[in-house]
Amino acid sequence: MDWVSFWDGAHAIYVNPRHKQVHYAALAADLMAYVPGPTARVMDYGCGEALAADQLAAACGRLALCEAAPGVREKLTARFGATSKIDVLSPEAAAALPAGCQDLVIANSLVQYLSRDQFRDLLTLWHRLLAPGGHLLVADIIPPNVSAVRDAAALLGFAAREGFLAAAVIGLARTAVSPYRKLRAELGLGGAEHYPAGGWVRCSAKAQTR
């Protein structure tokens, strides 16, 4: 199993529907603050289920949702296929887009699941896709040395604030024996070493990839 297969299958990362809903709603609210303007062309690369993508789309001119997991992509198409401002893309379709077609590329909770070579290739792609003056936003970065205890504490704090603490405790027990821990031990969190832990990193399109 690889990371794409993991995210495409049944997993216990979200402990219940409430957890998933508030996670994506909070994420969309955060991302909206980085949209350059109402006509901006935005790509969310590795978007996951993006339950609140319609909120992000309302803040920009057009939103491209790029997702590698085919099952997740089918859900995105079913949810947003009729929305005129949202395009659902495979990585291959995103790679075929013309140069300079995006004003903002978002990579949220993605780079830690990439190998060094995959990360380098995507940096090259994103740089090509960004228009002059565009930005790359890299967010929710888990460095390789972060312990499961710290992950659990962050989840429990979020759950306590949002009203699903009991479900979070049960969910942590499920996650402890899930393929996620095994994959994290075997594959690691490769791309995360190139960025600081947590937070948001915004890079200008004028910067050269290396």
Residue 201, strand partner residues? 138
**15 CB burial (10 A radius; 0-12, 13-18, 19+):** buried
The verdict on residue 205 lying in a domain is no
pLDDT one-digit tens code per residue, 149-208 = 777 788 788 888 888 888 888 777 777 666 666 666 666 555 445 555 445 555 555 443
Quote the pLDDT of residue 8: 85
Quote the pLDDT of residue 201: 57
Quote the pLDDT of residue 157: 85
pLDDT one-digit tens code per residue, 86-98 = 999 999 999 999 9
Quote the pLDDT of residue 11: 76
The verdict on residue 207 lying in a domain is no
**What's this model's pTM, rounded to 2 decimal places?**
0.79
CB 91 within 8 A of CB 31: no
**Stretch among 37-41, 111-115, 172-176, 196-200 having the lowest mean pLDDT:** 196-200
Quote the pLDDT of residue 30: 95
The verdict on residue 127 lying in a domain is yes
The verdict on residue 204 lying in a domain is no
Strand ranges (E), 140-210: 200-204
The verdict on residue 97 lying in a domain is yes
Q: Please give the Cα distance from 130 to 95 (Å, whole number).
A: 12
- CATH label of the domain that carries residue 165: 3.40.50.150
The verdict on residue 164 lying in a domain is yes
Quote the pLDDT of residue 51: 95
Q: Please give the Cα distance from 66 to 41 (Å, whole number).
A: 13
Nearest by Cα to 66 from 47, 40, 86, 41: 47
The verdict on residue 155 lying in a domain is yes
DSSP state of 199: S
Q: Please give the Cα distance from 31 to 56 (Å, whole number).
A: 7
> Residue 70 belongs to what domain range?
3-197
The tally of domains found in the chain comes to 1
When pLDDT is cut at 50, 70 and 90, the band that residue 37 belongs to is very high
The verdict on residue 208 lying in a domain is no
Average pLDDT of the segment spanning 102-111: 96
